[in-house]
Amino acid sequence: MSKCFAFGAIILVFCCHFSYFCICCVLVASEQFSGWNSSSVKSGRSPLQSLQENEQLEQSAVQATLQGRRELLEETCRTHTHKRRVLSPEDLRHLIVDDKHKLLYCYVPKVACTNWKRVLMVLTGDGHYREPLAIPANEAHIVGNLRSLSEYSTAEINQRLRTYLKFVFVREPFERLVSAYRNKFTRSYNTAFHKRYGTKIIQRHRADPQAEALEKGNDVSFEEFVYYLVDPQTQKEEPFNEHWERVHSLCHPCLIHYDVVGKYETLVQDSRYILKLAGAEEEVKFPAMSKSTRTTGDMTAKFFDNISPFYQKKLFNLYRMDFLLFNYSVPAYLKLR
């Protein structure tokens, strides 16, 4: 069964209902919203309502930027995806729920997700935590410390997708990829990744590997990592690990209509804006970026020096949707022709 209906003849509110979930994109304002008066809006409005209200009032530069990003995303989805797929609970695994502040955050590894998880632990922790950076990173990643949208019933999922502020943070795709490579394959402590992925990569993509390399998997080169990513066999066997899986596949931005698309490049400003919408500015401050080991664009360009144009092109095609959907331009260092 499939039916589409628009409610309230108001700007771009559509809702497709197939067999699973009703994903509504309340882009600008719902009928309900336009009927509100300011007194009821002021008291206890949700972050989504605040966003909608802000967008009808005079816009700040941050708001205008965010609205531009969201419209570009919608437009790119419209022109680049043909068939509408239905979401399953499995697709919602990366969405973290804050029922108190009515937030849905899709976490993308290597895009400040540890800090966002820490912030959400403060927000949902009933006073257990106060200072995000006091929460050990590994604790922020323990399944069960935060709730995923996939754990809820269909009705609860639909209600949250409709009424909560949905946001995601993205990053230049190749910078994110190099960051994942450096973190998982060049740090000696990441033995789990070396064993799980490194050994396989070396076995398949290195000519004449040493026995020790095959055993430990701890010296994968970026080139070998790229061969692994573009090898069709890799994704036939299992989905990519979340650290290098595309945002498109982790967060389904063409099916879940995010209200705010934050960027790593403007992390502090975008995060502050979301916390303000949530009325949580007093409760928690988003931690300022401090890491000096951070992967930069220049560093990323160096890693691509060793990759032949043939493989650069294959890799670009693999991550192409993330470039397009989030308005990242083709890196100048690539040799695509």
Reduced to 3 states (helix: H, G, I; strand: E, B; else coil), residue 242 is: coil
The binding track of 122-151 with respect to ligand NAG, each residue x by CB under 6 A or -, is: ------------------------------
With respect to ligand NAG, which residue has the nearer C-beta, 72 or 86?
72
Sign of CA pseudo-dihedral 3, 88, 169, 127: positive
With respect to ligand NAG, which residue has the nearer C-beta, 160 or 263?
263
**327 near ligand NAG, rule: CB under 6 A:** yes
Token code pair at residue 321? 């949707």
In the complex, the smallest distance separating the C-beta of residue 170 from ligand NAG, rounded to whole angstroms, is: 12
With respect to ligand NAG, which residue has the nearer C-beta, 70 or 248?
70
Amino acid at 117: K
In the complex, the smallest distance separating the C-beta of residue 38 from ligand NAG, rounded to whole angstroms, is: 8
Of the candidate spans 37-45, 131-139, 242-250, 297-305, the one that interacts with ligand NAG by CB under 6 A turns out to be: 37-45
- For ligand NAG, which residue of 37, 153, 188, 233 counts as binding (CB under 6 A)? 37
Q: What ranges in the chain are assigned the alpha helix state H? A: 31-34, 38-42, 47-56, 61-80, 113-124, 137-140, 154-163, 173-185, 191-193, 199-205, 211-216, 222-230, 232-237, 247-251, 267-277, 297-305, 309-325
**39 near ligand NAG, rule: CB under 6 A:** yes
How far apart are the C-alpha atoms of 130 and 308, rounded to whole Å? Answer: 48
In the complex, the smallest distance separating the C-beta of residue 68 from ligand NAG, rounded to whole angstroms, is: 3
How far apart are the C-alpha atoms of 297 and 36, rounded to whole Å? Answer: 46
**43 near ligand NAG, rule: CB under 6 A:** no
Angle at 261 between CA 257 and CA 264, to 5 degrees: 150
With respect to ligand NAG, which residue has the nearer C-beta, 37 or 293?
37
Taking each helix axis as running N to C, give the angle between helix 309-325 and helix 222-230, from 0 to 180 degrees, rounded to the nearest 10: 70
Token code pair at residue 259? 């209200």
Answer for the pair 60, 293: CB distance below 8 angstroms, yes or no. no
In the complex, the smallest distance separating the C-beta of residue 36 from ligand NAG, rounded to whole angstroms, is: 8
How far apart are the C-alpha atoms of 45 and 102, rounded to whole Å? Answer: 10
**40 near ligand NAG, rule: CB under 6 A:** yes
Nearest to 148 by CA among 195, 91, 194: 91
With respect to ligand NAG, which residue has the nearer C-beta, 75 or 131?
75
**184 near ligand NAG, rule: CB under 6 A:** no
With respect to ligand NAG, which residue has the nearer C-beta, 39 or 233?
39
Answer for the pair 244, 173: CB distance below 8 angstroms, yes or no. no
**263 near ligand NAG, rule: CB under 6 A:** no
Backbone angles phi, psi at 235, to 5 degrees: -80, -15
Of the candidate spans 64-72, 122-130, 179-187, 259-267, the one that interacts with ligand NAG by CB under 6 A turns out to be: 64-72
With respect to ligand NAG, which residue has the nearer C-beta, 70 or 184?
70
Backbone angles phi, psi at 256, to 5 degrees: -100, 115
In the complex, the smallest distance separating the C-beta of residue 305 from ligand NAG, rounded to whole angstroms, is: 24
Which DSSP category does 28 fall into? S
In the complex, the smallest distance separating the C-beta of residue 168 from ligand NAG, rounded to whole angstroms, is: 15
Question: Which residues from 65-94 bind ligand NAG, rule CB under 6 A?
Answer: 68-69, 72
**22 near ligand NAG, rule: CB under 6 A:** no
Residue whose Cβ sits closest to ligand NAG: 68
Residues written for the chain: 337
With respect to ligand NAG, which residue has the nearer C-beta, 138 or 329?
329
The residue ranges that bind ligand NAG (CB under 6 A) are: 37, 39-40, 68-69, 72, 327, 329
